[in-house]
Amino acid sequence: MPAARFVDQLNAQVGHEFAAHHQYLAIAVHYDALTMPRMAAFFYAQAMEERSHAMMMVQYLLDTDAAVVIPGSEAPVPSFDDVVAPVELALVQEKRVTEQINGLLRTAREESDFASEQFMQWFIKEQVEEVATMSDLLAVVRRNADDIDDIEDYVAREQAGGGADPGAPPVAGG
């Protein structure tokens, strides 16, 4: 069984991942309302990815006979003034999640919880990719804020789905 301190933090992280899911849904709806279907689709996919992250954590807790507690989360930011603000928020969110994931790994190490440390390795790699993706997208959106077609073209060209990662942890219910 994982260290109690790690279990508490991982249960909290499940809530953070669901909060990210809800925020990405709100962002997707914003872009859908602006008739930016590629940006909307990108953020709908991001929302599902965050939900999957939460469910991977749930599955790990179940697999290790740890208590699973699904916490509530704050309401997402529901609306934005322009096309840039949602991506700025997404980058801030990804950087915050990176800090949270690093904290989970740190706790696992401090507790000599080797299985939990190994479990977190995939998330460390994933967060590097997420921050890089949002940083690049933010640069493009800022540069092309007055030309949404250029933004849509970038997303279509650069953010095409790469498929499931075979090294990803299993998803509860999946």
* CATH number of the structural domain spanning residue 114: 1.20.1260.10
Number of domains in the chain: 1
Report yes or no on 83 lying in a domain: yes
Residues 6+ apart with CB under 8 A from 115: 2, 64
Report yes or no on 171 lying in a domain: no
Report yes or no on 134 lying in a domain: yes
Report yes or no on 70 lying in a domain: yes
Report yes or no on 170 lying in a domain: no
Report yes or no on 166 lying in a domain: no
Report yes or no on 21 lying in a domain: yes
Residue 139, Cβ neighbours under 10 Å: how many? 12
The model's pTM is: 0.93
Residue 113's domain comprises 4-158
Helix axis angle for 37-63 and 85-110, nearest 10°, is 20
Per-residue pLDDT of the chain (174 residues; tens, 9 = 90+): 899 999 999 999 999 999 999 999 999 999 999 999 999 999 999 999 999 999 999 999 999 999 999 999 889 999 999 999 999 999 999 999 999 999 999 999 999 999 999 999 999 999 999 999 999 999 999 999 999 999 999 999 987 666 677 788 888 877
Report yes or no on 174 lying in a domain: no
